[in-house]
Amino acid sequence: MRAQLGYGLLTIGTAAAALGLVTTAAGIVRKQGRLLELGRRYVVLVLLAALGAFVVMETALFGHDFSLQYVADNVARATPGLYTFTAAWAALEGSILLWGLLLSVYVAATAWRFRRRADDPLVAWATLVQFAVLLFFFALMLFAANPFKQVSGLVPLDGRGPNPLLQNHPLVAIHPPMLYAGLVGFTIPFSFAIAALVTARFGEGWLADVRRTTLIAWGFLTAGIVLGAWWSYAVLGWGGYWGWDPVENASFLPWLTATAFIHSVMVQERRGMLRVWNLSLVLATFCLTILGTFLTRSGVVNSVHAFSQSAIGPWLLTFLGICAFTAVGLVAWRGDKLRAPGRIDSPVSREAAFLLNNLLFAGFALVVLTGTVFPLLVEALQNKQISVGQPYFERLGVPIGIALLFLMAIGPVLPWRAASGELLRSRLLIPAWAGGLTLLIAVAAGARGIANVLAFALGAFTVASIGRSATIGVRARRHVHKDEGWAHATTRTVRGNPRLYGGLLVHLGVVVIAVALATTAGWTTRRELQLNPGESATVRGHQVTFLDREVDRSPQKTTIKARVRIAGVGSFAPAISTFPNAAEGIGTPSIHTTPWRDWYLTLSSSPTSGRVTIGVQVGTMVMWLWIGGLIMVIGTAVALVPARRRRVREPEAVTAPPEDEQPVPLVEVTS
């Protein structure tokens, strides 16, 4: 029953996407607004079909409808409610369904936003591209990865349950949807970029149209990546959070190009330059998300994320080929029309900083892409299995990261066009002192490694420079509105230019993450202890005692816990759980987190009696990685708030500059 209903809904979705595509195409060819309007309505049908199919899937999961292959494979009667819900994206078919649903939401929201501009050729072409992408993903479900496939033969009495790694931590409920909401969102800027190329409308209009969607998608992707690192830390038990695993790289690649775009788009808005570049970044971001889906979902790479493998590889590869070919072809075709007016006047200017920032982000993306795809190429061409060692990514990624941190420190205070020495001196004086002092303190405190020391110094530099910009903004406001308190004036200042202050907040989050990366890299100790019950060992001056072991049995899993006491820290219970559906058990680390120290205990071997091996890792400031991510997401949200329009009666501008400041705003971001 559910199989037919779900499959029917998917068919309706596919048909609606196809009809929308054809109608919109006809509307474009015949230049009939009525057809375009009609075509646009199919979006609603696609959205309803996707939503319906997703609901059917959830009811099947909760109803333990094991006549569906997907349900039988991913849920068992003993699976707790949360993991039954998340099982909807625990394997390939379901995750494509979630992908399709999120894509329809984005497309529907875009259609709603441009409802008054449906007959604008730019919007019409964008809608066409969106329908094409929708059609691809619906057809994928219909023909290659049907989530509603029925089991062959007898309906099993119980299902297998989700992969053990996917029923062990609640983060599984938010990490994948966040990541998908990010990756899927880049379809919208992609569609507008294609539309701009086709209609030859390279004015800055289309950029303004997609700026908000790009930022939303970027915010989700950032959240998804940070949550993924957290999941890796809290679940996988290796004590790390980022391993340059192909699948981690797959989510990081579009993030890099999207971040480059978010910056360089300001140059185009302000100066009309970098048009080809911006278009290419948008197109590349989308192609990289498809490449990422291919890497993650087709089973070509062996990684912790290869939860499900199937025959959708060729489909995705073909789609990737079509997208990349179209994109490159269009850019080449329109190349001569894309020549932008204006050029960079001085190497010490905001636009030059943005350009360098973009080169670094693009270079970073090239490094990661090469390291990720190279093993696949070697295996395909020479049939040899190789991997690219982490040192490759670290030796190249760290200098690029430091250079980006440096640009983040000085970029926002550079003026457009050209900077005078005096201006720079006044703006960089305090931050430079902050950076220099921090550098000395860090070295005195025992920071080792150029990269770590620089991360602290540049972090302090950036924070001081952000603090200075914000203080001056608020002071200027209070200079005009003398009756306002500090808190009120701060809120008003931020509301007056959310894009600027949101951006600075994101930068602050990046600094927090950079500092946390440096401290975790520089101050982490790891020890392996072999202890009999009652025995103790000393780690970092704390006595670690293995008390005893405890066995928990439930229908979902059997857990062996080692009860450990660390004097002055607390009680721990690292565990190994075995699930009925998997031969190998999985470890669950036991973590004690404070803002300064993380005690991270793992159980390495679990004989039912006698000596155990316990891994003890003491990390420094790990928590700030997640806090930094949170700040970045909040900053993105702030940047999305519409700027408050000035009321007419309010004084138009700052009449008298604050005492030590030129009237030029420090950081200008056009909105």
Partner 1 sequence: MRLRYGIIALVCVGAVVWMVVLLQRNVVFFKTVSEAVHDERSDGTRSMRIGGGVVAASIQRRADGVDFELSQGGATVRVHHTGSEPALFKDCAPVVAEGHWSARASKTFDSTRLLIKHDNNYEPPKSATAKCPDDPLGR
List Cα–Cα distances, 197 to 22, 23, 266, 417, in angstroms.
Answer: 20, 21, 19, 28
Q: In terms of CB distance, is 455 or 603 closer to partner 1? A: 603
The answer to whether the CB of 563 falls within 8 A of the CB of 550 is: yes
Q: In terms of CB distance, is 287 or 398 closer to partner 1? A: 398
What's the rounded Cα separation, in Å, for the pair 624 and 511? 10
Which DSSP letter does residue 555 get?
Answer: S
In the complex, what is the shortest distance from the CB of residue 228 to partner 1, in angstroms, rounded to a whole number? 18
In the complex, what is the shortest distance from the CB of residue 162 to partner 1, in angstroms, rounded to a whole number? 10
* Residue recorded with tokens 């609606």: 16
In the complex, what is the shortest distance from the CB of residue 364 to partner 1, in angstroms, rounded to a whole number? 11
Q: In terms of CB distance, is 84 or 581 closer to partner 1? A: 581
Q: Which residues 6+ apart lie within 8 Å of 450 measured at CB?
A: none
In the complex, what is the shortest distance from the CB of residue 666 to partner 1, in angstroms, rounded to a whole number? 28
Q: In terms of CB distance, is 430 or 582 closer to partner 1? A: 582
Q: How many CB atoms lie within 10 A of CB 583?
A: 6
Q: Which residues 6+ apart lie within 8 Å of 408 measured at CB?
A: 458, 462, 507, 510, 511
**What's the one-letter identity of residue 11?**
T
Q: In terms of CB distance, is 109 or 388 closer to partner 1? A: 388
In the complex, what is the shortest distance from the CB of residue 391 to partner 1, in angstroms, rounded to a whole number? 5
What's the rounded Cα separation, in Å, for the pair 171 and 86? 10
Pure H helices in 144-186: 175-185
* Residue recorded with tokens 């060992």: 537
Query: What would the DSSP string read from start to end of 509-524?
Result: HHHHHHHHHHHHHHS-
Q: In terms of CB distance, is 150 or 346 closer to partner 1? A: 346
List Cα–Cα distances, 647 to 176, 198, 389, 500, 565, in angstroms.
Answer: 43, 40, 58, 20, 63
In the complex, what is the shortest distance from the CB of residue 168 to partner 1, in angstroms, rounded to a whole number? 12
In the complex, what is the shortest distance from the CB of residue 531 to partner 1, in angstroms, rounded to a whole number? 12
In the complex, what is the shortest distance from the CB of residue 576 to partner 1, in angstroms, rounded to a whole number? 6
Q: In terms of CB distance, is 367 or 424 closer to partner 1? A: 367
* Residue recorded with tokens 């005893």: 548
In the complex, what is the shortest distance from the CB of residue 150 to partner 1, in angstroms, rounded to a whole number? 20
Q: In terms of CB distance, is 199 or 602 closer to partner 1? A: 602
Q: Which of 209, 22, 191, 170 is nearest to 103 (CA)?
A: 191
Q: In terms of CB distance, is 191 or 602 closer to partner 1? A: 602
Which helix (H) or strand (E) is 377 found in, with range?
helix 350-382
Which DSSP letter does residue 150 get?
Answer: B
In the complex, what is the shortest distance from the CB of residue 160 to partner 1, in angstroms, rounded to a whole number? 5
Q: In terms of CB distance, is 44 or 418 closer to partner 1? A: 418
Structure token digits, residue 3 = 């199989």
Residue 578, strand partner residues = 558
Q: In terms of CB distance, is 152 or 383 closer to partner 1? A: 383
Residue 576, strand partner residues = 560, 587
Residue 529, strand partner residues = 614
In the complex, what is the shortest distance from the CB of residue 310 to partner 1, in angstroms, rounded to a whole number? 12
**Buried (b) or exposed (e) across 203-219, using 16+ Cβ within 10 A?**
ebebbebbbebbbbbbb
Q: In terms of CB distance, is 526 or 644 closer to partner 1? A: 526
What's the rounded Cα separation, in Å, for the pair 515 and 434? 15
3-state SS record for 291-314: HHHHHHHCCCCCCCCCCCCCCCHH
Pure H helices in 523-601: none
Q: In terms of CB distance, is 216 or 576 closer to partner 1? A: 576
Q: In terms of CB distance, is 366 or 551 closer to partner 1? A: 366
In the complex, what is the shortest distance from the CB of residue 176 to partner 1, in angstroms, rounded to a whole number? 18
In the complex, what is the shortest distance from the CB of residue 499 to partner 1, in angstroms, rounded to a whole number? 30
What's the rounded Cα separation, in Å, for the pair 384 and 376? 9
In the complex, what is the shortest distance from the CB of residue 95 to partner 1, in angstroms, rounded to a whole number? 15
List Cα–Cα distances, 514 to 149, 363, 409, in angstroms.
Answer: 46, 19, 12
C-alpha 437: how far from chain center: 34
Apex 664 CA angle, 206 and 456, nearest 5? 85
* Residue recorded with tokens 């195409």: 25
Applying CB under 8 A, which residues contact partner 1?
160, 163, 237-238, 304, 306-307, 309, 363, 366-367, 370-371, 374, 378, 384-392, 395-396, 526, 528, 530, 576, 580-587, 602-606, 613, 615
